[in-house]
Amino acid sequence: MMHDLIDVLYTYKNAFASDNEPLGAIKGKEVDVTLNIDRPYPPVLRRPAYSASPRAREALEKTYPRVDPTWCSKKIRP
C-alpha cells in the first residue's frame, strides 16, 4: 500500500514538488505519511472516497487511468 502511494506521489509530483525543490520540500505541500493501523482495515477506510454510478466511474477511469506500478524504475523504499 505504501509503495502504491509513493508511485502516485511521483506520478503527480508536480502537485508536491517543483524543479527547484524536491518531493515533499515545498512549503505548504509537505508530505508526511504515517500508517498507524494494521490490516484488516475498518470498513470506513476500505470504501471508496466517494460513491459514483457505474457510468461516472467508467468516465473517471477513462480520464484518469489507474497508475501502472511498474512505470517508475526508481523506487523509494522506507
Per residue in 22-38, pLDDT (tens digit) is: 655 556 656 666 667 77
Question: What pTM does this model have?
Answer: 0.27
Structural domain harbouring 25: 2-63
Is there a domain that residue 19 lies in? Answer: yes
Q: How many folded domains does the chain comprise?
A: 1
Is there a domain that residue 73 lies in? Answer: no
Is there a domain that residue 43 lies in? Answer: yes
Is there a domain that residue 74 lies in? Answer: no
- The percentage of residues in the chain with a pLDDT greater than 90, rounded to a whole number, is 0
More confident residue, 28 or 71: 28
**Helix locations, the chain, DSSP H:** 2-11, 43-46, 54-63
**CA distances from residue 64 to 26, 57, 67, 73 in whole angstroms, order as listed:** 25, 10, 9, 21
Residue 55 CA to residue 35 CA, distance in Å, equals 33
Is there a domain that residue 33 lies in? Answer: yes
Is there a domain that residue 71 lies in? Answer: no
Is there a domain that residue 75 lies in? Answer: no
Whether residue 71 is predicted with pLDDT greater than 70 in this model: the reply is no
